[in-house]
Structure 1
């Protein structure tokens, strides 16, 4: 194959932004560039091992997988090479010239406004390679895809200034060789001891041996020295693994800068044999709500890497769990489609789900502080669990956290066990209310009786809460009850002051009849109630009707919502009700009744169909 002139390409616009941030920003931890390049090399070797299962010739008579690092102080270069899968010319352009991730541009723009978050860019979007420009004035990549004809390779070069060069070359060996031409102020990375320390810190437990070229002063010869353990951490007996080693391995596995909150290392033998190593991050990924978010476990079969982000082993509500599974039961050449239908996979999913929930339960018992960090980051995701996983419903419910009227703040830190332990012996159900915000829930008129009787109520204001409560029916024998829906247990709370017709004034009884006539089919029913203390009236849903919050969810999703008809409850002890009941002017009474209903609907829904009419009516009555 003839060599050719270099072709000049321009970086994708997002890459230009990325390189600008990296090159012109001060990073407190520049050494991470080497971790990223070693990780990429390790992945390339893992991929070759997997592809070689069905096509052994890809090894090209070189199955001794390794990563090599060499230093040339005279030329101020650091070279990282591997004998992995390598890249074709097109893959080189796609992998090193573009970032094929949705949301990249907006994310980069947000980083420019938040200087302290720039370090978090590393490990996201698959941009680890670009971290080499933090320390380099020029980067050269020589690569050849395993099995390429006539040793056809590709040379990629760039100074990180908006463009890169591509050239066809001859490369005798498969894999990738990256040469970093270091900046003058980064010459510390030309010291062997410095490289050894970085590899020991970040890459000690990758499954590929890493060698550095050293010089024997006595014999005046060069030799290759292995500088990492190259043993998969998950295969080591956990009693022999230090806490720091788990943390370092997590960072290598996930490219996360933070330590994990908790982890679980488990070996199972018997009918199914596998090793799992699961981690709970300290911080949610920026794109965890993105539909394209890649999550799941890294899958190995008999120590052979199969794929990243395999989602079939954990339900979606546990998508924040990171880690890996190494199975001895799955066939090595299994495809993604077969794996999804494999009975072994389903059994593994059940086991790993229970293991993950047990890990969270242990965290909640061991450290309130750490569990609160977890809940603040991932509580909304865990709330998806009751709808997705009925089998583990009680375990999930035990992990949920809430705020309540007795909490007196928005912090969700109360477990259901705590709520039940604080219940009065006569309290039949777990009471809750859903609303658009914490303030709205806390100030709902439905709470008046509960505040008066010192009965705690859970305040639910996350958008998913109403959906969750459709599946969270009971906990430890106590059923959940929305206080904005009609229920016999709510009526029993007022039995000490039960409304009796013979105790009511004629004016109030007549007033009740008039209200029913005036409102007609605008409401489902009109009743008197003693559940209110400060509010003249309130609306609540019938026990069989859709709640207000559920209707809002359907409407937000673009689905049609049936007309809601509420039960209109009136407080006969309220001064305003007593005053209005004495009005004889029919038109004026109509206006007052309509105003009271609008007030109750506004308190319940947070909005009105015709707010202008409501304001006009209120102004009119203020002038009378």
Structure 2
């Protein structure tokens, strides 16, 4: 026989908070069932643990711990029942009768200051009031519970209007049942038919599929003879692969799970299964796909991995756990020490989450590095699909610059068929060479045929061929690899003869050459002053008459175009025209200038030399019609 019911009032702040919860602060009402199932799962966990450590509980049967969902369509009730640890009267008052017993006033003040419902939902998530999400879908909630090791049970009941009743009840089994007297379905209010078997299955599948305890529900089945019967189904798979050791999971199981979360029917290129224990425990199961999704470089691409808390699904695309440049990584992180109501905003500023992110990133980059050293073919495929995204990390993730540089693979002049890593390039460098040379361009053919390559090809220096648009950016930000500076062969001064053993030019030869061109170079600089800032002799040309180069820290023309395409106007950067002093055209121009510096044809020749050099590097002529007219006139004169 139970005692008479006692009616109690919620605190004033608690009543305000209840009203906020009930009136759709949560944008997704489905989460009420996630919250109740999670609470039931915690109760089962506690019973299993305490039955091993607390002898005062007596003989406890833990052979069939489970969660039951019971639907009564006539009474419009949905009950979530568990045979877990249960609660005493004091537990009910402490855990349910008082909401957010500390900080409620602070919470309400912050909610009042927030500008929208989403912000308010994030704030409520910080104070752990998930149980009260039940009042979004129910007019009344009844909790009946009995704690293991006690003889009597307790009933708690409230309509969420500011008061609750609590009373002692005899004859209850150990565990807890939460019965929701559901509001009618209403599409305008976002209230689904939560008595529908299909809706319940959908919610359990989405949020609670990997709960370790079976979630059961009795369902109606119609046989072939038309007779109906009730069968008990288990709604969740309980197959949280990440919670098992790697030796317990087959490759087929990994592939099946990957397909389930990624909707990619190709097996992943790599599976990363990890567990971290200590102050912040979590498990992670990550996958590197074999093929890039079609929207990898779309602004609308979703990124991040799925976040679970104790096997309860929290959110898709948790950006706080994976940087943008690893947006292709799929998988799950299951954290043990987070609130179920944790928001994206909270995660972004959580110190422990940032620590998890750092470890996940190192694991992913380490897995790709292992591929590179142990399975070159598989690594080459992964790099071909995701290399461009990984190179974004060289701009975003300074903590992992060296690890990312170790992964970089690029075409080079060493082998026309096979790309090279920076490490392999360094291992092949000539004696005395300290610099890693590269050239950027739109295509490999344009780079290979560039006049800038001539001296490097003639002297056997390897040059990296970089044709990704992002290459223009990262090589400008990352100045060295393993102590070796990165240098564009289209920038700055290049003097390969300075340390080359086969150099035949003496200091006297250089001095004579400079004297020979002492008059021409200043004249050309003045004549082409609108196009270039300097004209000088080149040591990088062997067959071409001229080329255009930038100063060491100048923005390249390609990068300048990229910025302008993004709407960022840059000041015009004048570059340098370099001349090949041994080319017949240049020597003829020097002779003609020495004979008659005022000849107007010389200025036209200078303009043609500059335009030809610009075209050779794939640049755009400032006035194509004028260049064509000058060239036509000059050709006509030679016939």
Who is 1:575 aligned against? 584
TM, length-normalised to structure 1: 0.67
Quickly say closer, same or farther: Cα 1:223–1:215, change in 2 above 3 A: farther
Residue 621, structure 1, aligned to residue 631, structure 2: no
Alignment correspondent of 1:608: 621
Please tell me whether the aligned partners of residues 83 and 176 of structure 1 are also in contact (alpha carbons under 8 angstroms).
no
Matched, 1:462 2:486: no
Distance across 2 between alignment mates of 1:405 and 1:367: 23
How far residue 614 of structure 1 moved from its aligned partner, in angstroms, is: 0.9
Structure 1's unaligned 5+ residue stretches are 1-43, 57-61, 68-81, 85-144, 156-167, 180-198
CA contact (8 A) 2:67 2:215 kept: no
Residue 337 of structure 1 corresponds to: 345
Q: Distance in 1 between matches of 2:431 and 2:361?
A: 35
SS state at 2:617 partner: helix
Could you say if the C-alpha distance between residues 490 and 147 of structure 1 is closer, same or farther in structure 2, counting changes exceeding 3 Å? farther
Is the CA contact (8 Å cut-off) linking 2:271 and 2:285 kept in structure 1? yes
1:544 aligns with 2:553: yes
Whether 1:471 and 2:477 are equivalent positions in the alignment is yes
1:519 match: 528
From the superposition, tell whether residues 543 and 310 of structure 1 become closer, same or farther in structure 2 (CA, over 3 Å): same
1:320-359 superposed matches below 5 A: 320-359=328-367
**Superposed, which structure 2 residues align to 1:283-294 within 5 Å?**
283-294=291-302
Equivalent in 399, 407, 415 of residue 391 of structure 1: 399
1:64 is aligned, of 64, 68, 71, to 68
Q: 1:593 to 1:241 in 2, by over 3 A?
A: same
Structure 1 residues 310 and 243: CA distance shift in structure 2, 3 A: same
Of 130, 152, 155, 2:184 maps to 152
The answer to whether the aligner puts 1:415 opposite 2:415 as a matched pair is: no
1:176 maps to which residue? Answer: 199
Q: Distance in 2 between matches of 1:542 and 1:66?
A: 76
Task: Identify unmatched segments of 5+ residues in structure 2.
Answer: 1-27, 41-65, 72-77, 81-135, 140-180
Asked if the contact 1:83/1:173 (under 8 Å) is kept, the reply is no
Task: Give the match for residue 436 of structure 1.
Answer: 442
TM-score by length of 2: 0.65
Displacement, 1:481?
0.5
One of 377, 384, 389 as aligned partner of 2:385? 377
TM superposition shift of 1:471: 2.3
Superposed counterparts of 1:241-390, under 5 Å: 241-390=249-398
| TM-superposed deviation, 1:307 | 0.9
Query: Structure 2 CA distance, aligned partners of 1:227 and 1:375?
Result: 40
Describe the superposition over 1:347-380 as per-residue Cα deviations: whole angstroms up to 9, x where unpaired. 1111111111112112222322221221121111
How far the C-alpha of 1:406 sits from its partner, in A, is: 2.1
Indicate if the aligned counterparts of 2:455 and 2:541 stay in contact, CA closer than 8 A: yes
* CA distance 1:154–1:174, shift in 2 (3 Å): farther
How much has 1:527 moved relative to structure 2?
Answer: 1.6
Instruction: Tell me if 1:587 matches 2:582.
Output: no
1:314 and 1:347, CA in 2 relative to 1: closer, same or farther beyond 3 A? Answer: same
| Distance in 1 separating the partners of 2:237 and 2:197 | 24
Contact kept, 8 Å, 1:146 with 1:175, in 2: the verdict is no
Root mean square deviation of aligned Cα: 3.9
CA gap of 1:427–1:226, structure 2 versus 1, over 3 A, is same
Q: Per the alignment, in what secondary structure is the counterpart of residue 528 of structure 2?
A: helix
Residues paired across the two proteins, number: 468
Q: Deviations over 1:124-162 (max 9, x none)?
A: xxxxxxxxxxxxxxxxxxxxx95487663489xxxxxxx
User: Which deviations, in whole Å up to 9, do the C-alpha atoms of 1:161-187 show, x marking residues without a partner?
Assistant: xxxxxxx998745652899xxxxxxxx
Q: 1:351 to 1:496 in 2, by over 3 A?
A: farther
Change in Cα spacing, 1:506 to 1:378, as seen in structure 2 (3 Å) is closer
CA drift at 1:520: 4.0
2:405–2:481 Cα contact (<8 Å) kept: yes
Bigger mean CA offset, 280-289 vs 521-530: 521-530
Counterpart secondary structure, 1:592: helix
